[in-house]
Amino acid sequence: MDAFTAYLEGLETVQQRAVLGGVLRWVGETFPDLTPKIAWSQPMFTDHGTFIIGFSAAKAHLAVAPERAGILRFSGAIERAGYRHSKELIRIPWGQAVDFALLGEIIRFNREDKRDCTKFWRG
Tens digits of residue pLDDT in 69-105: 999 999 999 999 999 999 999 999 999 999 999 999 9
The pLDDT of residue 43 is above 60 = yes
Given a cut of 90, is residue 42 above it in pLDDT?
A: yes
Residue 117 three-state SS: coil
In the three-class reduction of DSSP (H, G, I as helix; E, B as strand; rest coil), residue 35 is classed as strand
For the chain, give the number of residues: 123
Tell me, yes or no, if the pTM score tops 0.85.
yes
Distance CA 73, CA 50 (A): 19
Report the distance separating Cα 114 and Cα 107, nearest Å. Answer: 11
Mean pLDDT of the chain: 95
pLDDT score recorded for residue 2 = 84
Cα dihedral: 18, 24, 25, 26 (round 10): 110
> How high is the pLDDT of residue 1?
57
Give residue 123's pLDDT.
67
